[in-house]
Amino acid sequence: MIFYGKSDVGKVRTSNQDGFLFHDYGDGRSFAVVCDGMGGHNGGNIASEMAVEEIRAYLTDQTNLETFGGDFRALVLAAIRKANDKIFVRAVKEPTLKGMGTTVVLSFFDGDHVLTAHVGDSRAYQFRDGELRQLTTDHSLVQEMISSGQITDQEAQTSPYRHVITRAVGTGPDAEIDFDSSEITEGTLLILCSDGLSNAVPVMDMEQILKTNPVEKVCDVLVDTANKNGGNDNITVVVAGKE
């Protein structure tokens, strides 16, 4: 597997509350995660940092790997729940961090198989045969409004509720996590990103960037494009593919 990642504060925010990580076990397995924090002056930054670190620690702990064996869904579920517990407990103990939380989108690669877990509106896309397909469905108010027919996809782009998420890691005692299974073969790319990218760069433009740039340049071009389109939020993207 090859991984590229980039995170940028954008043009409006004063701090970057996104985080990302990728890890290769060296045996055909690897994982990548993107988090977008929320809550208070420092809460979002702390929540995303904690989520990335707790997930990294859990998924690289040999004891956990042995306990779950090949049940990677259970392993990933436990890792995200562990992060949720740590963030929630800290927010309860520290009043200034009350309500902090983070989105999580995490892909675990096992050979050609990809298991993607997500909470919130950070997304996973698959790029194959020149087409970009969204693998995750946002846990957000506008997505619920789209699904119920109240607004269109185009109207959602300017909705005053477009930043309201309906699920997050760390905001409650438990996190509801959705999963997707897909394949990643030679020539396929997986893209994980925060909404600072997906809200700023239309899917057709993302697809064109993926078609016309070498994989090692894709993150830079996507982030630059998001900034050119306003950079109204922190922007984070990870691109993974098969060598």
Instruction: Please give the share of the chain, as a percent, with pLDDT higher than 90.
Output: 87
pTM: 0.95
Contact assessment for residue 39 and residue 31, using Cβ atoms and an 8 Å cutoff: no
Residue 161, in any domain of the structure: no
Residues 6+ apart with CB under 8 A from 226: 8, 10, 196, 197, 200, 201, 235
Residue 156: pLDDT above 90?
no
Task: Output the CA torsion sign for 54, 123, 202, 100.
Answer: negative
Q: What is the mean pLDDT of residues 234-240?
A: 98
Residue 40: pLDDT above 70?
no
Residue 67, in any domain of the structure: yes
Residue 115, in any domain of the structure: yes
Q: How many domains does the chain have?
A: 1
Contact assessment for residue 170 and residue 102, using Cβ atoms and an 8 Å cutoff: yes
pLDDT digits (tens, 9 = 90+) for 68-127: 999 999 999 999 999 999 999 999 999 999 999 999 999 999 999 999 999 999 999 999
**What's the pLDDT score for residue 41?**
62
Residue 159, in any domain of the structure: no
**What's the pLDDT score for residue 144?**
87
- Burial of 142 by CB count in 10 Å (0-12 exposed, 13-18 middle, 19+ buried)? buried
Residue 200, in any domain of the structure: yes
Chain-centroid distance, C-alpha 241: 16
Residue 8: pLDDT above 80?
yes
Tell me which residue range forms the domain holding 67.
Answer: 2-134+166-241
Instruction: Please give the share of the chain, as a percent, with pLDDT higher than 70.
Output: 99
**What's the pLDDT score for residue 159?**
80
Residue 172, in any domain of the structure: yes
Q: How far apart are CA 70 and CA 82, in angstroms?
A: 19
Q: What is the mean pLDDT of residues 143-160?
A: 83
Residue 171: pLDDT above 80?
yes
Q: In what order do the strands lie in the sheet with 2-8?
A: 2-8, 235-241, 189-193, 123-128, 131-134
Residue 137: pLDDT above 70?
yes
Q: How far apart are CA 25 and CA 60, in angstroms?
A: 8
Residue 186, in any domain of the structure: yes
Q: Which DSSP letter does residue 121 get?
A: S
The C-alpha R_g of the chain, in whole angstroms, comes to 17
Q: Provide the CATH number for the domain around residue 106.
A: 3.60.40.10
Q: Residue 226: enclosing H or E segment and its boundaries?
A: helix 215-228
Residue 143, in any domain of the structure: no
